Each structure stands twice: as structure tokens, then as C-alpha cells.
Amino acid sequence: MTEFAHLRHGMVDVQLARRGIRDRRVLNVMKQIPREQFVEPGFEEFAYEDGALPIANGQTISQPYIVALMTEAAELKPPDKVLEVGTGSGYAAAVASRLAKTVHTIERHEDLARVAAGRLAALGYDNCIVHTGDGTRGLLEAAPFDAILVAAGGPIVPDALKRQLSIGGRLVIPVGDSEQEQSLLRITRWSDTEYDEETFGAVRFVPLIGEQGWAEDGTRSASNHVPGRTHFRSLTEMIGAAVEPLPSFCDPDFGALFDRFAHSRVVLLGEASHGTSEFYQARAAITRHLIEKHGFTTVAVEAGLA
Ligand code: SAM
């Protein structure tokens, strides 16, 4: 085994399998794809580290774990036609191409698209078709898609992408009101008008820039402006918009507020006072709710019990 192959196998075991990626097909494919060939020259030695790396045009090749998480969430099958928005280096497209029939991938930066297309062709991923353009509009000429993966974070779920899903199709996309943090969502289409939404936790992506994403200056693009919702310029503004009133701890509605974390593998509870009685009551109520209603099995505590 070459040194890179050895590092790649270690990355899959330590960063993916031990962190909860279960789909054997995703794990096996990520043991094969040579990530060192997708990073910028000079960065090869970091290709299997646990993080995103810079590529040209101020963009990034995503962290291996995030690529695995999104690919697993998309539940790709051999006959699937896939759209990836945000080609970047081409790495995630290469991963998807080993699990699906065809991968259309679209990148807004022409230079990145050209380099990725050359790289994918040279490495033999010939079921990847690279396009240049605004992926928030989808790719009407190739729609519908069995899965759409969006590798950049936008303020809303672009309507065009929902409409370009086949029935049963999955859209995996990071969405959030700030460029600092988004929630990774999976939207499944069940009929012409019915969609399900599931959350896979907090993530941080580069911005999705386009007609149904952010504008170049970081504000919402005109076509997706939601009155009363803004792009935050300061932490205070962001906290002000995010805080939620809480009911009393003994009110069942209190625990129910935390149903949004039902699908998380790990939930961290903490606050800054280190010991107010409100903190202990809230922690107990949330913990009880997650155990009783959502089957959480382990509580690890780095604090006194009260
Ligand atoms: N999947 C990539 C990889 O494996 O290297 C990583 C992608 S990087 C995190 C996100 C990419 O999305 C950037 O290259 C960025 O230019 C691109 N992007 C942002 N907005 C876009 C849009 N509206 N349409 C297409 N690409 C977009």
C-alpha cells in the first residue's frame, strides 16, 4: 500500500467510521478516491487531515467527514442521476460518481470548473459532467435528479432545486441565516407538492452565491429576499435574532423545544454561569426529554451533579 493509500484508509477509519458514517459503500469509495490529487499543489501532505483545505478563487475542498455525511444522507444508488452544486476541486463529485450512474456538477467560477473537469477526466471519472453557472437555478436541461447535493451554504432552500428533484429524490443542502453556520438539511420529495425535511446538525460552508443564494456582497440576492429577515453583520445582531423565549422548566413544552435535536448523535449542553439553579433545572429537563422521548442512551457529565 502506498503512503497516501495508508493515510486514506486511516482517514476513513478514524474520521468517518468512528464518527458515525455507517454506509459501507460510502466508506469503501472514500478509501479509493485519491484526495491528494484534488488538493492544490503543495497541499498533498495535508490531504487526509480532518478539515477543509483552500483551493483557488478563495474556495475550499470540503472536510472528508462532511463529504461522507452529505453523500450518505443523499442515499445514492447505482441508477441515480445526481446534481452537485459547487464543484470546487471535483472531489465530492468523484465520490458521488462511484455510487451513482451520472453526476452533473456545476460551479460558478469558470477557472475552478475548467480545472476540475480536466482533473476528473484525467483520473477517469467519466460519468461526471462539469458545468459552469449559477447552481441555485439547478440544471433544467438535465433535470429531474434523484439526488442534489449542495456544497455551499445559502439563506434558503432554492425553489428551483426542489422542483428539479424526481419523486423520491433527496436534496442535501446547508441552509442558514448567517455565513458562519448553517443546518445541514435533507429535503425528500414525495409528490408534486409534498416534501419532508430532516436536519443533520450544524455545519459551516462557504457561501452559496447566486440568484437564490447570497449576493456577492453577502446580502440576500433580490430574488430570495424575505422581508424582516436580514443578513447579520455583527454577533450581537445575530444573537438578538436567534434567542428564543423559553417556557417554565416544568412545562412539557420546554422539553419539546429540544425535539429538533432528536436525530443528533451527540448533544452538548452548556452555558456560561457554571452553576445557577436555572441551568441545572434546564439541563435535567432537556436530558430527561431526550432520554424518554428520543431514546438517548448515554449521558457524559463534565460538571457536578445537582
Ligand atoms: N464539492 C467541492 C469539492 O469537493 O471540492 C467543494 C466545494 S466548495 C466548499 C463550494 C463551491 O461552491 C465553491 O467552489 C464555490 O465557488 C461554489 N459555489 C458557490 N455558489 C455557487 C453557485 N450558485 N453555483 C455553483 N457553484 C457555487
pLDDT tens, residue by residue, 182-220: 999 999 999 999 999 999 999 999 999 999 999 987 777
- Kindly state whether residues 192 and 60 are assigned to the same domain: yes
Q: At 248, which amino acid appears?
A: S
Residues 191 and 224 in one domain: yes
**One domain for residues 203 and 261:** no
Predicted confidence at residue 282, as pLDDT, reads 86
What pLDDT sits at residue 227? 45
Q: Does residue 8 fall inside a structural domain?
A: no
Whether the per-residue pLDDT at 228 is higher than 50: the answer is no
62 is an active site residue: yes
Q: 200 and 252: one domain?
A: no
| pLDDT-derived band at 229, boundaries 50, 70, 90 | very low
Residues 125 and 63 in one domain: yes
pLDDT at 226 over 60: no
169 and 260 co-located in one domain = no
**Residue 274 domain boundaries:** 246-294
Q: Give domain status of residue 11, yes or no.
A: no
Residue 304 has pLDDT above 70, yes or no: no
- Tell me which residues have their CB closer than 6 angstroms to ligand 1: 59-62, 85-86, 88-89, 91-92, 106-109, 112, 134-136, 151-152, 205-206, 208-210, 213
Specify whether 156 is located in the same domain as 268.
no
**pLDDT, position 207:** 94
Q: Residue 151 is placed in which grid cell?
A: 456544497
Per-residue model confidence as pLDDT tens digits over 98-146: 999 999 999 999 999 999 999 999 999 999 999 999 999 999 999 999 9
169 and 287 inside one domain: no
Query: Of 217, 236, 255, which residue constitutes the final position of a domain?
Result: 236
For residue 64, being part of any structural domain is answered with yes
- Name residues whose C-beta falls within 8 Å of residue 69's C-beta, 6 or more positions apart in sequence: 21, 184, 200
Give residue 306's pLDDT: 53
Q: In the predicted model, what is the mean pLDDT of residues 170-178? A: 94
Are 208 and 265 part of one and the same domain? no
The pLDDT assigned to 106 comes to 98
The arithmetic mean of pLDDT across residues 214-235, rounded, is 63
* CATH code of the domain in which 167 resides: 3.40.50.150
Last residue of a domain, one of 187, 218, 236: 236
**Same structural domain for residues 165 and 281?**
no
Q: Is residue 40 part of a domain?
A: no
The answer, yes or no, to whether residue 233 has pLDDT greater than 60, is no
Q: Please check whether residue 63 lies inside any domain of the structure.
A: yes
The listed range with the strongest mean pLDDT (25-29, 176-180, 229-233) is: 25-29
Does residue 36 sit within a domain? no
pLDDT at residue 88, rounded to an integer: 98
Q: Which atom of ligand 1 is nearest to the CA of 38?
A: 5
Task: Single out the residue in 197, 218, 236 at which a domain terminates.
Answer: 236
Residue 42 lies in a domain: no
Q: Are residues 170 and 277 in the same domain?
A: no
| pLDDT tens-digit map of 238-295 | 677 667 778 888 887 888 888 878 777 788 888 777 678 888 888 888 999 899 888 9
Number of domains within the chain: 2
Residues 208 and 254 in one domain: no
Q: Ligand 1 mean position to 243 CA, how many Å?
A: 30
Asked if residue 218 belongs to a domain, the reply is: yes
Q: What is the mean pLDDT of the chain?
A: 90
Per residue in 58-68, pLDDT tens? 999 999 999 99
Atom of ligand 1 nearest to the CA of 135: 24
